[in-house]
A and B are shown apart, each in its own frame.
Chain A
C-alpha cells in the first residue's frame, strides 16, 4: 500500500473518489511470455483526478501491462493494485470503465448502439437484474456524451469505424467509472469524434474526480490535457510531466525515432 493514499470510502459513485486515492498501481511488475521478458520491473500509479498517458513503440508491452493491471494476466514478479487491492480480488467492477484495444464485435448478430452501451450497466453484480430507470438514464447520458444519440437505435455494424469506437467508449462511460482505462481508443477515429472524446474525458476527470490511463500512439487530441506521461519500452523510460519530456528530448530515452508515437515527435 502506498502510505500517501488515504483511506477512502469504497462506494461506486465517482464522487466518492477522494482526490488522492490510488486507483491503479504497479510495484516491481514483471511478465514474460515463455522466456521473453515483456515487462521488466515496472512501477506506476494512477490517482484520482489524474490523466495519465502510457506511450511506447509497437511491441513495447503496453497492452500486456494493461492486462496485468486489470488482473487478466498474473505477473511473474511484483504486484498490481486495482483500487488498492490485488486485481483478481476485485469482483465488483462498477468503478472501472474499460475500452479494449480493437473491441471485436463479431457481426454475426445485429446489436444496436443502445444494447452495446447497456452492457456497461451489467457491472457491480447487476448482471442478472433488469435495467432500472436509472440504468436507462445513464445509458442515454453515456451515448449523448460521445455524440451518438441520433444513432442509438441503429445496428452497430452499420456504423463507421469511428462511430463504433465511440459506442465502445460510451459503454465504458455507462458505469460512471472512477477509473477509466483505454487501450488505443482513438486509433482510426475522425477529428470531430476525437474532440468529443476529449471533452467527455476532461469532464469525467474535472467534474467527477476520475482517474484516466490512456494507452496510445497518437495523443494529439488530448496532449494538452495530460497530467503525466509514462514512456514504456519493456521498462519505464520516463514518468513525468509532458513539458519535462519535451525538455529532455525523446532521443535521450534510447527509443528509435521511427518507433515514436506521433505526438512525441511534435514534443521534441
Chain B
C-alpha cells in the first residue's frame, strides 16, 4: 500500500517521487529524534563518523564478497560502541574519540575498496544517496525502522534525557546509564546504516544535527525541542525533495541545504526577537 501510486500534486505525482518522499520523510523524522540526544551529549558529528566506519564495512563486504549491508552494520555498531567506550572511560573527549573513529573509518574504507577493485558509482551512492531509484521494499523497511526508532525514543525520552543531561546524577539515582548509552549508540549505528543505502550518509548525518540546532533556539522545553526537531526534519525533507525535482538538483544535497536554510532563518529571527524583547524589558 505504501508503494502504490497516491493522488499527490506536483512535484510528487509520480510513483518514484512518492517512494523517495516516503524514504526521505522517514529519515527526516527518525534522524532528529536520535540527534536531540546526540547533540546534548556533544556528539553532533557522530552520524558522519559512524557513516565513514560503515563505509569501511561496505568496502570489507565488497572485498570478501559478503552482503555489504551486513558488514556495514557490523562495522557501524562496533564503531559506535567504540566511541561510547572511549567517552565513558574519559580516556578522551567525545570530540577526539569521534575524530579517531572518523578518520580511521574513511581511510580503512578507501583502502578496502581500492583493494576490492576501485571506487565505483555504487560507492558514490552510499555517500550521497540515490533516493529517486529507491526500491519499494526499501521504502517499507526504512519507514518501519523509522517508526521503531521514533517510538523507542519517545517512550524512553525521560530516561535518555536524564542520562544525556546529567550522567553523574543519573548513575547515583539508579537510572541504567550504561544500558541507555549503549542503546543510543546502537540506534545511531542502525539508523545510519539503514539510511545510507537509500538516502546516503550525508542526509542522515546532517538530519541528526541541523533540525536540532534550529529547534533548540526556539523551543522552551525539552519535549518541545524533540517535537520541533522532528517537524523541521520532515518539513525540510518534503520541501527539499520538491525543490530538487523542479531544479533538477541532487535530492539529498537539496534537502540538507533546505535544513541549513531553516537553521539560518531561525537563528536570525530568534536573535532579533531577543533584541526586541530585550529593548522592551529595558524600557519597562
B173 touches A96 (CB 8 A): yes
Tell whether B155 is near chain A: CB-to-CB under 8 Å.
yes
With contact pairs A70-B172, A123-B175 given, residues A128 and B155 touching in the complex (Cβ less than 8 Å): yes
A61 at the binding interface (Cβ < 8 Å): no
Which residues does chain B contribute within 8 Å of A85, judged by CB atoms?
Answer: none
Contacting A at CB under 8 A, from B221-270, are 221-225
B window 123-177: CB within 8 A of A = 155-156, 158-159, 161-162, 165-166, 168-176
Tell me which residues across on chain B come within 8 A of A108, comparing CB atoms.
39-40, 42, 216
CB contact between A112 and one of B42, B173, B221 (< 8 Å): that residue:
B221
For B168, the closest partner residue in chain A by CB is A100
**How many Å from the CB of B87 to the closest CB on chain A?**
14
Residue of B whose beta carbon sits closest to that of A114: B221
- Taking a contact as CB atoms under 8 Å apart, the answer to whether A127 and B225 are in contact is no
Q: Contact between B222 and A115 (Cβ–Cβ < 8 Å)?
A: yes
B46 to chain A, nearest CB (A): 14
- A174 and B176 alpha carbons, distance in the complex (Å): 18
Write the nearest CB–CB distance from A124 to chain B, whole angstroms: 7
- Tell me which residues across on chain A come within 8 A of B221, comparing CB atoms: 110-112, 115, 153, 155
CB distance from B53 to the nearest CB of A (A): 24
Bound complex: CA A110 to CA B229 (Å): 13
- Interface-lining segment among A33-41, A49-57, A86-94, A204-212: A86-94
User: A252 vs B220: C-alpha distance in the bound complex, in angstroms?
Assistant: 53
Binary per-residue interface labels of chain B (100-132) against chain A in the complex, 1 for a CB within 8 Å, 0 otherwise: 000000000000000000000000000000000
> In the assembly, what is the distance between CA of A127 and CA of B166, in Å?
14
Residue in B42, B155, B165 whose Cβ sees the most chain A Cβ within 10 Å: B165
Report yes or no: B172 in contact with A96, Cβ–Cβ below 8 A. yes
Q: Give bound CA distance, A155 to B224, whole Å.
A: 11
Interface assignment of A109: CB less than 8 Å from any CB of chain B: yes
Q: A153-B221, A175-B173 given. 7 additional CB < 8 A pairs?
A: A100-B168, A106-B42, A110-B224, A119-B162, A123-B174, A153-B220, A155-B221
Complex A-B, nearest 5 residue pairs according to Cβ-Cβ distance, in ascending order: A93-B174, A127-B159, A119-B162, A111-B222, A112-B221
